[in-house]
Amino acid sequence: MDMDTSILLPQGQMLPFLHFHAADTLWFQGWVLQSTGAIAGACIGLFLLAIFSRWLDTMRSLAEIDWNKRHVHLLLL
């Protein structure tokens, strides 16, 4: 397949494309990748952000369970 030919996709479809090039903005405006070390750092940063997000969601769920138990206990008094 010649790289100069266009790829016809149905309207609304995107071509999946994974690349690791410098000067890409990743997630935040300040996270502009300039080197391979920056790409690795950004991957680690996004991984830690995902872990924190899941931890925060778990803590919220546990807090809601505790709040509901306390609310039921106060209603029974």
Residue 54 has pLDDT above 60, yes or no: yes
- Residue 54: how many CA atoms within 13 Å on its side-chain side? 5
Tens digit of each residue's pLDDT (9 = 90 or more) over 2-37: 454 556 666 666 656 666 666 666 666 776 778 878
Q: What is the pLDDT of residue 38?
A: 78
Nearest 5°: the CA angle 72, 59, 56 is 145
- Identify the residue with better confidence: 5 or 74: 74
